[in-house]
Amino acid sequence: MSNPIRVGLIRCDTHGMWFGPQMQSHDSVLLERAVLMPDDRPSTYSWMTRGTHYFFYSHYGAPRRMTAPRVEGFQITRLWDEHPEVAELARSVFLGVPRVCKTYDEVSDDVDLVFIADCNGDGSDHRMLAEPGLKKGIATFVDKPFADNSTNVRAIRDLAAQHNAPVMSLSILQANPAASQFALRLAELGRTDFGTITCHSLDPAALIHAICVAHHVFGTGITAVHASRSGTHTSIHLGYGDVPNRPENGVVILCGVTQARFTEMFATAYGPKGSVHGQVYNDFDGSEGSALLLEHIKTWFQTGLAPRIAQEMELAIAVMDAIRLSEATSSTVSVMTT
């Protein structure tokens, strides 16, 4: 592709400055040292306290050699964040190339792709943030979770269809190589009868990752959920009903198991021939998953064909809807996928 895809970046938060350095040339020194706001207030996002640099430049003895994979074919030309000073700092990290926009609706002007890089919220503002670009017919990628509920997912889909604007949402955990490698090990069990997945909390930004791991490793087709809370810990049982080739006894997501320093997730699978246990995500190899997502986004933009896992994100939102209702009612709730 001779001309790069011009990207308008909405939000310079954790994922905005995670995907960004994988797409574009940047100042690694500033990415590492952007610790405080210009007026000496505490930093707003984790990348400003060396978060992204720590995981992207972990080559011993060569702190300026990027260990995370780069993905060519993108150029961030516009960006916006509700904290203007953060947006200016992000612009400096990207060597002054992007234009800082005063409002998020300006981000979709003169770009090919809008990238809503808001990964730490509940997705309740994604419909609002996506609307200006979709109304202009601009292809839009929405970071996880797609939205806060299935109703808003459908609203985003309807708006995109009305204006002939492609839209897609994905999670790193749908493509992370560690989860893929774990899934391959299930063959050792003969069949998979039961599984577990660790998750940090019930926050949608974390929970959607765990649901995506369930889809990635154990398969789609979840028909019912049951959430049970005990103090700060919540166990969520995912049932597959009579769906063939799925764990007969379901999968349990264990939320709030520990206060981990980094984002680490583990899975265990049990079958008649034993069990397998392994790490399905950590922040050091997470850049491999995000690089694969960027390749998916590039192919989708160029061909108009979304990968199969894009449908899984919408299924994951439906599962999350059911989990919320189950927790509120202390009952088993069916997953509504239509």
pTM for the model stands at 0.93
What CATH number does the domain containing 22 carry? 3.40.50.720
Among residues 172, 203, 231, which one ends one of the domains?
A: 172
294, part of any domain? no
Residue ranges of alpha helices (H) inside 75-176 are: 84-93, 126-135, 150-162
Same domain, 151 and 227: no
Q: Are residues 329 and 217 in the same domain?
A: yes
156 and 186 share a domain? no
Cα–Cα distances in Å, from 116 out to 143, 227, 338? 6, 30, 25
3 state SS of 205: helix
The residues, any chain, with a CB within 8 Å of residue 179's CB and separated by 6 or more, are 173, 213, 216, 217, 267, 280, 281
Q: Indicate if 157 and 186 belong to the same structural domain.
A: no
| Domain hosting residue 54, numbered range | 5-172
**Location of structure tokens 């040292």:** 33
The answer to whether the peptide bond before residue 177 is cis (omega within 30 degrees of 0) is no
Domain count, the chain: 2
Beta strands (DSSP E) in 176-231 are 194-199, 224-230
- C-alpha to C-alpha distance for 188 and 246, rounded to whole angstroms: 15
Phi/psi of residue 253, nearest 5 degrees: -90, 125
Strand partners, 140: 114, 167
Q: Is 123 left (phi over 0), alpha (psi -120 to 50) or beta?
A: left
Q: Does residue 80 share a domain with residue 191? A: no
Question: Are residue 166 and residue 214 in the same domain, yes or no?
Answer: no
262 and 192 within one domain: yes
296: in domain: no
102 in the same domain as 82: yes
- Same structural domain, 161 and 186: no
Residue 293 forms part of a structural domain:
no
Is 134 inside any structural domain?
yes
- The answer to whether residue 76 sits within a structural domain is yes
- Cβ contact 309:213 at 8 Å: no
Question: pLDDT digit of tens for each residue in the chain (338 aa)?
Answer: 478 999 999 999 888 999 999 999 999 989 988 765 556 565 678 888 888 998 999 876 677 889 899 999 999 999 999 999 899 999 999 999 999 999 999 999 999 999 999 866 789 999 999 999 999 999 999 999 999 999 999 999 999 999 999 999 999 999 899 999 999 999 999 999 999 999 988 889 889 999 999 999 999 999 999 999 888 889 999 999 999 999 999 999 999 876 766 788 999 999 999 999 999 998 888 899 999 999 999 999 999 999 999 999 999 999 999 999 999 999 999 999 86
Inside any domain, residue 62: yes
Evaluate whether residue 304 is within a structural domain.
Answer: no
The last residue of one of the domains, among 139, 172, 205, is: 172
Measured N-to-C along each axis, helices 204-213 and 309-329 cross at an angle, to the nearest 10 degrees, of 120
**Pick from 115, 96, 86: which is nearest to 23 by CA?**
115
Neighbouring C-alpha atoms within 13 Å toward the C-beta of 201: 10
Is there a single domain that holds both residue 212 and residue 160? Answer: no
Listed residues 157, 172, 187: the one ending a domain: 172
The set of residues, in sequence order, having a beta carbon less than 8 Å from that of 150 and lying 6+ positions away, is 314, 317, 318, 321, 336
- Do 75 and 167 lie in one domain? The reply is yes
Same domain, 192 and 157: no
